[in-house]
């Protein structure tokens, strides 16, 4: 068991006296609905059975001592619950510290420090939301330790708030929501404008979800993520003068085609087109699953990738290679990039008897074209955060 190794590491570093809690929060993958979450559209993510393990103990003083088994070279990073602010030298600990700060901003001040050891089995920088997993995990630990009166949905919103305001990444709500609200064998059909959601079962009788990690590292804050977001805001402001809407997600494809001329800049128009069409694709995809039409779901995944490549321009050669090679293989129902793009991962639905061929052939073609290897994960859909012991 992974958590037992994390607990052993905690005791080795920080001793075994006092009340020690063991926790887990999942990573997530978004099946369809990309770059719609900050455009008031729908998303369709699910929590995974891989994620972040945390072992924590409350301290009597104000000191924070953090250690990550993924970044052992950094050793124990120390700070304090007083005067929390983002610091370059704090490295990954800016995520848990950001959540503590956000709790304080919401009127729940963290008065005591903690010792914390983390281990994530999400590939780092893969786009499976390792940062959001750490944020939700931290919030879950704080609620358990200090008895804060917050729901799992609140934990998602606090995590997003900390990433926006403390860590300076203008992310939408999807990642934290999918992780905090995960349900085994279900994806979450979430309207990001209203936070209304429903669970939709993902029944893949003879197929698996395969995640292909490009191993091209990217940092969200310094990628073009914020730029895409402002292009959509420009488009919304211009089209909103013609037709009264609050978000791009309010538009149907027909309405967009009718009024798109109001968006003066050609690039902003392409960005808005993706946001509108991707939202509608997501609605159709969930309907397809309800009708047990996995083939249509796959076609919509493929169309999503094309739109992200051509209209939103967030794919790049690595992700395009993974997807285009996947499309060549018999038994691939659908494949697309997932996450913010510019590196990270693709998600594919692959028939059981084609999984080995998929990994072998896509892997070989990627290595040949890109010059380094991709990693492949056959994943299961899991629950939200838990206290293990």
Model confidence pLDDT, tens digit, residues 237-275: 999 999 989 999 999 999 999 999 999 999 999 999 999
Query: Rounded CA gap, 385 and 152, in Å?
Result: 9
Query: Rounded CA gap, 294 and 219, in Å?
Result: 33
Among 288, 281, 332, residue whose Cα is nearest residue 303: 281
- Using an 8 Å Cβ cutoff, are 47 and 381 in contact? yes
- Using an 8 Å Cβ cutoff, are 311 and 273 in contact? yes
Bridge partners for 213 per DSSP: 345, 375
| Helices vs strands, H then E, count in the chain | 11, 13
Compute the C-alpha angle 137/73/64, nearest 5°: 45
pLDDT number for residue 219 = 56
| H-state helical runs in the chain | 2-14, 94-105, 130-146, 152-165, 174-180, 225-240, 253-259, 266-290, 294-310, 316-327, 355-370
Query: Rounded CA gap, 41 and 284, in Å?
Result: 13
Looking at domain 2-202+383-387, which of 3.30.230.10, 3.30.499.10, 3.40.50.1110, 3.30.300.160 is its CATH number?
A: 3.30.230.10
Query: How far, rounded to the nearest angstrom, does the alpha carbon of residue 224 sit from its chain's CA centroid?
Result: 17
Q: Annotated catalytic sites, by residue?
A: 175
Query: Rounded CA gap, 101 and 82, in Å?
Result: 9
pTM: 0.89
Count of Cβ atoms closer than 10 Å to residue 384 Cβ: 24
Query: Rounded CA gap, 386 and 194, in Å?
Result: 26
- Using an 8 Å Cβ cutoff, are 191 and 246 in contact? no
* Residue 150 C-beta-side C-alpha neighbours within 13 Å: 26
Which residue pairs from 186-191 have beta carbons closer than 8 angstroms and sit at least 24 positions apart in sequence? Answer: 186/46, 186/381, 187/31, 187/44, 187/45, 187/46, 187/381, 188/43, 188/44, 188/45, 188/46, 189/42, 189/44, 189/282, 189/286, 190/42, 190/43, 190/44, 190/45, 191/41, 191/42, 191/249
| pLDDT in 10s for each residue of the chain, 389 residues | 799 999 999 999 999 999 999 999 999 999 999 999 899 999 999 999 999 999 999 999 999 999 999 999 999 999 999 999 999 889 999 999 999 999 999 999 999 999 999 999 987 666 677 899 999 999 999 999 999 999 999 999 999 999 999 998 878 888 999 999 999 999 999 999 899 999 998 988 899 999 999 998 665 545 688 899 999 999 999 999 999 899 999 999 999 999 999 999 999 999 999 999 999 999 999 999 999 999 999 999 999 999 999 999 999 999 999 999 999 999 999 999 998 888 889 999 999 999 999 999 999 999 999 999 999 999 989 999 999 99
Tokens of 359: 């990994």
Dihedral sign computed on CA atoms, order 280, 291, 328, 315: positive
* Residue 274 C-beta-side C-alpha neighbours within 13 Å: 27
Tokens of 351: 């028939």
Query: Rounded CA gap, 60 and 64, in Å?
Result: 11
- Using an 8 Å Cβ cutoff, are 232 and 272 in contact? yes
Specify the 3-state DSSP secondary structure of 127: coil
Q: Which residues contact 384 (CB under 8 A, 6 or more apart)?
A: 25, 26, 47, 136, 152, 179, 180, 181, 182, 183
Dihedral sign computed on CA atoms, order 149, 156, 124, 163: negative
Specify the 3-state DSSP secondary structure of 375: strand
Q: Which residues contact 60 (CB under 8 A, 6 or more apart)?
A: 112
pLDDT number for residue 221 = 46
Query: Rounded CA gap, 130 and 169, in Å?
Result: 14
| Domain assignments of the chain as residue spans, ordered by start | 2-202+383-387
Tokens of 344: 């990270």
In angstroms, what is the C-alpha Rg of the chain? 21
- Using an 8 Å Cβ cutoff, are 304 and 310 in contact? no
């Amino acid at each position: 068991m992974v958590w037992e190794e994390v607990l052993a590491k905690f005791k080795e570093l920080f001793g075994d006296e006092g009340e020690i809690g063991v926790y887990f929060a999942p990573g997530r993958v978004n099946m369809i609905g990309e770059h719609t979450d900050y455009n008031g559209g729908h998303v369709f993510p699910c929590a995974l059975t891989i994620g972040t393990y945390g072992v924590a103990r409350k301290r009597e003083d104000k000191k924070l001592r953090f250690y990550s088994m993924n970044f052992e070279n950094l050793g124990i990073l120390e700070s304090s619950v007083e005067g929390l602010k983002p610091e370059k030298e704090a490295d990954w600990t800016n995520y848990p510290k950001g959540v503590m700060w956000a709790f304080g901003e919401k009127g729940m001040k963290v008065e005591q420090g903690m010792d914390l050891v983390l281990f994530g089995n999400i590939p780092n920088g893969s786009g499976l939301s390792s940062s959001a997993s750490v944020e939700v995990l931290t919030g879950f630990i704080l609620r358990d330790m200090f008895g804060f009166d917050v729901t799992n949905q609140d934990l998602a919103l606090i995590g997003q708030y900390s990433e926006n305001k403390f860590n300076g990444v203008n992310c939408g709500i999807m990642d934290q929501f999918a992780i905090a609200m995960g349900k085994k064998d279900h994806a979450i059909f979430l309207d990001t404008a209203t936070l209304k959601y429903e669970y939709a079962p993902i029944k893949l009788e003879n197929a698996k979800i395969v995640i292909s990690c490009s191993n091209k590292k990217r940092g969200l804050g310094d990628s073009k993520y914020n730029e895409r977001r402002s292009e959509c805001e420009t488009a919304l402001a211009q089209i909103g003068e013609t037709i009264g809407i609050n978000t791009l997600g309010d538009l149907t494809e027909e309405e967009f085609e009718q009024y798109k001329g109001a968006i003066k800049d050609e690039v902003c128009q392409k960005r808005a087109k993706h946001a509108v069409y991707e939202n509608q694709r997501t609605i159709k995809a969930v309907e397809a699953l309800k009708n047990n039409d996995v083939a249509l779901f796959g076609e919509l995944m493929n169309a999503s990738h094309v739109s992200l490549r051509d209209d939103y321009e967030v794919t790049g050669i690595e992700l395009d290679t993974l997807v285009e090679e996947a499309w060549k293989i018999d038994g691939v129902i659908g494949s697309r990039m997932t996450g913010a793009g510019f590196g990270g991962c693709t998600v594919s639905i692959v028939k059981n008897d084609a999984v080995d061929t998929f990994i072998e052939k896509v892997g070989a073609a990627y290595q040949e074209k890109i010059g380094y290897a991709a990693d492949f994960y056959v994943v299961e859909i899991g629950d939200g955060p838990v206290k293990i012991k």
